[in-house]
Structure 1
């Protein structure tokens, strides 16, 4: 897959920086922790003083709107970084991070970053790229929300998933650990019923196959044609 817009820099060993025990490096600059399914890694208004990298598992990033309605901003997987707004003097968290399954993370304290930036310039490049890609991702999602209808938003997001998190198997693309219909609805500002209707329609056209564990895109180009 083309990962130019993914939330990590391919040629930087983020694991070696965030989890230095795996590289026999300084271990006093990091912490490893495991969270159970449903456990919050941090909550809105918690101190924003740490940055996290996902070693295993999945994490949901979101906020709560009116009447405590959950608004999902992102669902992250292995190798992705979150909590990075601590770098821009965010005093308190403006979002929550919650483990969607048993999840292992490596943690770097904000106060240790200047040392890491000096010792490993590639780490600074990593965060510059991360922020740039985050901005592009948010701009794309805002454009999708403003200019596209519900069906197009759902299809467009499936295409985004296939590009960033898909694994090519022959002519098909598989996305493992696929999300629930409600989670997909939250991410695309649609309803669960609309998501179910669109996915079933795409399946009837033999463009996709899906279950609770994975999504299989049979032909990405033909799926993209559904947007025209």
Structure 2
């Protein structure tokens, strides 16, 4: 019980809620452990709850008409997901899967909507989450329609660096570990194409590759190649503030 309250308090959305408001959320919420590789919800499931990730990592995906997986977002501890349940849209249109052993807290959409009516900051925070996630997805769709593979991959690496980048003496290291297939699913390409493009960029000295690891050695040069502003690193690293990256400004905004 106390642990569940702590997880809710650790979510940046709820940090300004009063103790009675947190207690109300806690009393209506349910916690569940999800094993790696298991679904949290599936397309066509009822969208009747918003979820807080207490621990682990989750990916939000969509299946294309030919059965291929398209990754829409990664969720880190302290973040909410499934937030479109707040709009009372009926069924889910994507699925969520645990990519590590995870623990989630489900908050009934009606309970959270009532609290949003009382708390302007909470309402604004949820609106930002919905807006920024949709903006990132829309930008990826535009990149998919109009840009070649290399430029799509560079845009993705810069986005991931903004979200998960750690400054090191070798460059900006992505703290999130992704396979070439994961990257392909994020940009709408094939694993083979991603491998070739990343290898070329490594030969050019722009990035350094390791096992599920990418270091951006020349982020400003990468940004210049795709015509966007230089990367802006957050004052707090993802490891210090995993709950808040959706509140940062997106690239190019």
TM over 0.5: yes
Which position in structure 1 is the counterpart of 2:174? 175
Q: What are structure 1's unaligned runs of at least 5 residues?
A: 1-11
Give RMSD over aligned pairs: 2.5
Which position in structure 2 is the counterpart of 1:32? 31
Which position in structure 1 is the counterpart of 2:57? 58
Structure 1 residues 41-94: Cα deviation after superposition (integer angstroms, max 9, x where no partner) = 001111111111223222121122334322222222233321111112211111
Does the 8 Å CA contact 1:171/1:219 hold for their aligned counterparts? no
Distance 1:88 1:94, change over 3 A: same
Q: May I ask how many residue pairs the two structures share in their alignment?
A: 215
Which position in structure 2 is the counterpart of 1:88? 87
Instruction: Calculate the TM-score normalised by the size of structure 1.
Output: 0.83
Pairing of 1:127-206 with structure 2 (within 5 A): 127-170=126-169, 172-206=171-205
Distance 1:181 1:106, change over 3 A: same
Distance 1:115 1:89, change over 3 A: closer
Structure 1 residues 166-202: Cα deviation after superposition (integer angstroms, max 9, x where no partner) = 1223572121132111111111111111100111112
Structure 1 residues 96-153: Cα deviation after superposition (integer angstroms, max 9, x where no partner) = 1000111122221111013321443221111111122123212211221122101110
Which position in structure 1 is the counterpart of 2:6? none
Output the CA distance in 1 between the equivalents of 2:135 and 2:143. Answer: 12
Distance 1:88 1:196, change over 3 A: same
Output the CA distance in 2 between the equivalents of 1:54 and 1:91. Answer: 22
Instruction: Calculate the TM-score normalised by the size of structure 2.
Output: 0.76
Q: What are structure 2's unaligned runs of at least 5 residues?
A: 1-10, 228-253
Does the 8 Å CA contact 1:176/1:213 hold for their aligned counterparts? no
Output the CA distance in 2 between the equivalents of 1:49 and 1:39. Answer: 20
The farther-off stretch of 80-89 and 163-172 is 163-172
Which position in structure 2 is the counterpart of 1:107? 106
Output the CA distance in 2 between the equivalents of 1:30 and 1:162. Answer: 33
Output the CA distance in 1 between the equivalents of 2:135 and 2:115. Answer: 26
Which position in structure 2 is the counterpart of 1:220? 219
Distance 1:159 1:216, change over 3 A: same
Which position in structure 1 is the counterpart of 2:43? 44
